[in-house]
Structure 1
Amino acid sequence: MSRTIGFAPSIAEMETIAQAAFARIPAGFAEHLGAVVIAVEDFADDELLAEMDIENPFELTGVYEGLPLTERSIEHSGTMPDRIRLFRLPILLEWCERGDETLEHLVGHVLVHEIGHHFGLSDEDMHALEEQVL
């Protein structure tokens, strides 16, 4: 893949890329995602990094925040919607370091991985879902 020199995508541009990947989620999964919110930020906040015991903010490209479907019950109705946070600068660094895939593919990969946490999927199942989306 050849690269041209340009500007890094903004948060809004990366959100557009993530929403496009989200739109390709197979219907069987999408109907169970409900009101999952997708947010893009430059980095994870210090509180999240500390909670996950991560010192270098570039080591976290995304996180699923919410209660996985495998752990839900009626007692959880009325709670805030689940959220997937993607971290723009760590994703961009990983994309530059890999150099062998499009940014759209990497954003989709991170998104699918976080959706996998929502469903409590194994890594193998996440890879199968990724093949359908990407």
Structure 2
Amino acid sequence: MEMDAVAFEALVIDELDRLPDDMVDGLENVVFVVEDRPEDGTLDLLGLYDGLALTERTQYGMGELPDRIIVFREPHLAECDNEEELRQEIHTTLVHEIAHFYGIDDEQLHELGWA
């Protein structure tokens, strides 16, 4: 599947808007970023949470750099055959990475069906 960066970012924003309020209301000092692919150039990673989970924070406060949730465009496009599949995969990636912000690890995500 092919899609330019602008259209892909619009889908990510749309899927963010569709997430439940109680999931996103607690996100503090977090930015969402779209990048073409991970630094190592592979297509294996769909998203990444780059930050310190809420469960690990002690004296987190003013002046801290924001945590980042990165959605990788090219791996998503390689994984999906059409826009409906792409939307579903972006949604799953967002939920997965937001869960890491809240301290939910991959094992728990597997149990919940989000990994």
C-alpha separation in 1, matches of 2:52 and 2:113: 18
SS at match of 1:63: strand
CA contact 1:91–1:106 (8 Å) conserved in 2: yes
Give the aligned partner of residue 112 of structure 1: 95
SS at match of 1:116: helix
String of CA shifts for 1:71-123, please: whole Å, max 9, x gaps: 112x2212111111111111111113xx7x52111111111111111112221
The residue type paired with residue 35 of structure 1 is N
Alignment of 1:85-96 (within 5 A): 85-96=70-81
Stretches of structure 1 that go unaligned for 5 or more consecutive residues are: 1-6, 47-55, 128-134
Query: TM-score with structure 1 length normalisation?
Result: 0.71
Tell me the number of residue pairs that the alignment of Structure 1 and Structure 2 aligns.
Answer: 108
Higher alpha-carbon Rg: 1
When residues 22 and 35 of structure 1 are mapped into structure 2, their CA distance, relative to the original with a 3 A threshold, is: farther
C-alpha separation in 1, matches of 2:68 and 2:29: 8
Q: In the alignment, does 2:12 pair up with 1:63?
A: no
Aligned-residue CA RMSD in angstroms?
2.0
Stretches of structure 2 that go unaligned for 5 or more consecutive residues are: none
The residue type paired with residue 110 of structure 1 is T
String of CA shifts for 1:29-80, please: whole Å, max 9, x gaps: 211112321111111113xxxxxxxxx611111101111111112x221211
